[in-house]
Amino acid sequence: MLSGPLALIGLAVLVLGTSFLSGVFGIAGGMVLMGGLLFLMPVPAAMILHGVTQLAANGWRAVLWWRYIDFRVVARFVAGSAAALTLFSFLLLVPDRATVLICLGLVPFMAFALPERYAPHARRRGAAEFAGFVGTGLQFVSGVSGPLLDAFLVRMPVDRRIIVASKSACQVMAHSMKLVYFGVIVTAGDGAVSGWLLLMGAGLAVVGTSLART
């Protein structure tokens, strides 16, 4: 677990910087943050802190862009996400650090390798549900799913703002499922994260997201 002022400063810079990165480019921030957290704390704790910070960042982005959210796509995504949570609730899988890092490295390549017939745009029948199921499953083993979600959303023939807003809303739900899984269903002893650290992460995530919009 984190110890010492330098580690806390490093964490603060990591959260602020990755939230700003995601706010500007819409990608990569969550992956960089997850990779950094894995070197600072055990996997369950990293999953929880990552979930809180990304929930705050994406939640704030969804609030700022709420007019552009495609709520039908989000609702269908949630259905698939809930199915993944149900499945993993029976498996009770807690991956080790090496597994998470390997999956984290593979996620972008998986997204780019998916042909369109397997990753049609999210408004097509079954696509959002499939994205929710697979994406949330990836959240449980790698901590992230943004690149895979991009494969379904960027192909929608809509304004970029709808894509960004809808992705943020979907990410809110996926990270919420991750928090429920690692914080409630899987009760690992090394998953404890202090409340003030969670508040700091959430606050810095909102600041970084807001700075990216100015």
> Number of helices (H) and strands (E), helices first, in the chain?
9, 0
Number of domains in the chain: 1
Q: Which pLDDT does position 152 carry in this prediction?
A: 87
Q: Which pLDDT does position 205 carry in this prediction?
A: 86
Averaged over successive runs of 10 residues, the pLDDT of the chain (214 residues) comes to 70 85 70 90 92 92 93 97 96 94 89 70 88 95 90 87 93 95 77 83 86 68
| Closest among 159, 67, 170, 155 to 114, alpha carbons compared | 155
Q: Which pLDDT does position 95 carry in this prediction?
A: 94
pTM, entire model = 0.89
Q: Which pLDDT does position 72 carry in this prediction?
A: 96
Domain range for residue 57? 5-213
